[in-house]
Chain A
Amino acid sequence: MAFLKTILTLFGTFFKIGLFTIGGGYAMIPMIKAEVVNLGWMTVNDLIDFIAVAESTPGPFAINIATYVGTIVGGDSGIWQGVVGAVCATLGVVLPSFLIILLVARYFDGFKDNRYVSAALFGIRPAVVGLIAAAAFTIAIGVFLGLSIGSGQNLFTAAASASGVSLNWRSLLIGALAFGFSRWKKKLHPIWMILGAAVLGILLFGLPEL
């Protein structure tokens, strides 16, 4: 029964993520952070690591992350439960898009020219940019300062109660190099930047541990 509840929560959570993501790809990150991290299925670091994996593997980000979270959450109860979890989460994230497009294709010929739809999007588009920027900010203070904001906390209460917050100069160096690189070679695939950062990570974080 506990497993059934997990499966339904997976489906429901990813349905909600699919339904409220407009713009796709990185626009999904704030929602995933809010839902999946708050449910305790993933830490912020797990999410960042998986963004790198998703950038380096084919397929839409939404499908990648739904399949991954479904597999690990369901997989707590066994390998086949992991497969069931992956199917439910992926189905959840796909269904809103699928159903909405079916409705639009079938019934609303003038949908994209509808004045209320375009008026709502006029507000949603800039807000989504702000939301992704907020996700980038939260992730950045975690990576560079070691400061994480738990659920039910805000930046100020988290900063007041945080311990072990310090500037991580090695991460900052890698981030600065990655930023310079991405400005210099704008057309290059992100996978090369990820590989470069992995090598630097091994040199700066791995070697000193020996």
Chain B
Amino acid sequence: MDQEKSSSLWTLFASFFKIGAFTFGGGYAMIPIIEKEAIEKQHWITDSDMLDIIAIAESTPGVLAVNTATFVGYKVRRFWGSVAATLGVVLPAFLLISVLSYFIAQVRDNLWVAAAFEGIRAAVVVLILNAVVKLSKGCKKDWFNYALMGVSFLLVALLNLPVIPVILGAAILGILYTLFVLPKMQAREKEGK
């Protein structure tokens, strides 16, 4: 930690402000820019630190950009470092949308703007569908994954069930499956051989 004392809270804030201001869509789109700033330019973290951070951010709830900023800030300057980095990554979007919100409200009833949004909605459906396809490729292709995908889809799409119990239920099923079902299946496979 000692060699990083030279990085001021201000540099942390400014770097993450830049990261927040130049990524569209957030999340994974942010990773290349964070790598450039935090690894190549500032030498705050190494490549393997970055992989650790992504793994931790993926396995904890919340906003990926905030997870990463908090973690890098903490590594460099502990608590206040994490505050500075998180504030930096949040502020650009906050300021821009605060201003934009008033304009959105004013123009939305305009005939042409309303027509444009009517068209945009169809494209947004496609954007979300593409995200589903992309994310499903990251899951294992076995009966357990397909079943969980299908059941949680049906429960919410058809029955309009609340989302949080479905997530908690899936977490419990995940634990039961990996701790009880999976070891048995592996043992049976070994016997078979």
Chain A residues with a Cβ under 8 A of chain B: 16, 18-27, 29-31, 34, 45, 48-64, 67-68, 71-72, 75, 79, 82-83, 86, 90, 93-94, 96-98, 100-102, 104-106, 111-112, 115-140, 143-144, 149, 151, 153-156, 170-172, 174-175, 178-179, 182, 189-191, 193-194, 196-202, 204-206, 209
Contacts and interface: CB of A to CB of B under 8 A. Distances in A.
A34 B161 CA distance: 9
Contact of A57 (B61, B93, B122, B130): B93
12 contacts: A61-B27, A82-B98, A97-B61, A98-B82, A101-B71, A104-B60, A134-B157, A143-B122, A182-B127, A190-B25, A193-B123, A202-B112
Given A52-B117, A197-B119, A100 B61 contact: yes
Contacts of A182: 126-127, 130
Nearest to B129: A136
Interface in B23-37: 23-28, 30
Contact of B174 (A102, A123, A151, A199): A123
B10 interface: no
B122 A94 contact: no
Q: Which of under 10, 10 to 19, 20 to 34, or 35 or more describes the interface residues of B?
A: 35 or more
B132 A133 contact: yes
A59 B86 CA distance: 12
Contacts of B20: 58-60, 63
A124 B97 contact: no
B63 A21 contact: yes
B119 A72 contact: no
B39 interface: no
Nearest to A82: B101
B187 interface: no
A64 B25 CA distance: 9
Given A94-B90, A130-B152, A133-B153, A196 B171 contact: no
B62 A96 contact: yes
B14 interface: no
A139 B124 contact: yes
Interface in B120-164: 120-132, 135-136, 138-139, 144-146, 148-153, 155-160, 162-164
B132 A123 contact: no
Given A82-B102, A98-B62, 14 more contacts: A20-B163, A21-B61, A22-B60, A23-B135, A60-B30, A63-B90, A63-B97, A71-B101, A127-B149, A128-B167, A128-B170, A130-B153, A179-B126, A206-B115
A119 B167 contact: no
B132 A136 contact: yes
A23 B58 contact: yes
B118 interface: yes
Contacts of B26: 24-25, 59-64
Given A57-B96, A60-B27, A175-B123, A130 B156 contact: yes
B93 A121 contact: no
B178 interface: yes
Contacts of B125: 48, 136, 139-140, 143-144, 175
A90 B123 contact: no
A50 B100 CA distance: 11
Nearest to B83: A98
A132 to B, nearest CB: 5
Contacts of A18: 61-63
Given A104-B56, A133-B157, A134-B152, A202 B136 contact: no
Nearest to A33: B163
Given A101-B67, A126-B145, A133-B132, A189 B61 contact: no
Q: Which 9 A-B pairs have the closest CB atoms?
A: A201-B119, A123-B174, A59-B93, A97-B62, A60-B26, A206-B115, A127-B170, A130-B152, A197-B123
